Amino acid sequence: MNVPVVWENRVRFEETDMQDVVFYANYVTFQDETFSAFLREIGYSYEDVASAGWDMHVVNVDMDYRGQATFADELVHGYRIERIGESSMTGEYVARRADDGELLAEGTVTHVAIDSETGEPTRIPDSFRSAVADFQDTPPEES
The CATH number of 5-142, from 3.40.50.1000, 3.40.50.720, 3.10.129.10, 3.90.1170.50, is 3.10.129.10
pTM given for the model? 0.93
The domain segmentation of the chain, as residue ranges, is 5-142
Pairing of strands 88-97, 74-84: antiparallel
pLDDT tens-digit map of 33-68:
999 999 999 999 889 999 999 999 999 999 999 999
Model confidence at 4, pLDDT cuts 50, 70, 90, reads confident
